[in-house]
Structure 1
Amino acid sequence: MTRLIILIGLPASGKSTLARKIVSRYPQCQLISTDAIRAQLFGDETIQGLWLKVWQEVQQQFHQAVNQTSLAIYDATNTQRRGRREVIDQARETGFSQIIGLWVDKSLQLCLERNKQRQRQVPEEVIMKMSRQLIDVPPSCAEGFDEVKRITE
């Protein structure tokens, strides 16, 4: 059985920090990060690049994870329901047997404040748009998750 944790949350909500904590606790865990993929493909994680190239690498890493480990984490914002469903469908097709949504639900204000302190800042209007997407359509098991956990602390 191979489990996939799909992180969900605004930029600067703490998703990547949480992912690193999980990986340090479970060394066999494979971290699949769109930021790391962008750095690998385009030389810098801030370069958005062609999404199709990023997505192809995500799919390849999904296949590797299913064949090599029992736990993987997909670290991306995943704020749009349509995008989450695409990830879930691909994960099921690849062979993940359990898919858990882990929603790092921090306040918009906190994320905006943290974002200002980052070297790599996301435009505020982008974060605000993502926040509206999560408020309008929060993650749920109806999307195909086996379980959705919400972290607010």
Structure 2
Amino acid sequence: MTNDIMTYAEQALDYGVMGTLILMSIVTLWLFIERMMFYKSVRIEDYKHRDNLELDLTDNINVISAIGTNAPYVGLLGTVIGIMITFYTLGDLGAVDAKKIMIGLALALKATAMGLVVAMPAIVAYTILLRKVERILTKFDVAHEV
């Protein structure tokens, strides 16, 4: 029974946490590409009001921001689960083996690393998109000056 729980926890770490981080990465990339394609095709002449343009320009970039801010926490959750699994396994064996502890902790930390690998590009993408939005809105303002 105990081994079943540990096996389930290890699978939750590998498939749940890492899968979530991979999904977050794919969503970020997809939204970034979609937004960049939209920004290339947007025609400010089609908009009469700045607010409507701003709404269209900022659509879905908050998702990228949310991914960038929350990916490290998802990675941290994976690390905590990994450390718990490592200590529980060592306690269950009744022996302290430094090699097993180091391997377990190293594998647990992969989730934190993955969380950072997802978060950093997401924040960069969000910053790039915000700058594009500012540039397009400034072009709109200049074109509609009276």
Report the TM-score range of the alignment, normalised by the length of the smaller protein.
under 0.3
Which structure shows the bigger proportion of residues in strand conformation? 1
| TM-score normalised by structure 2 residue count | 0.26
User: What is the TM-score of this pair, normalised by structure 1?
Assistant: 0.26
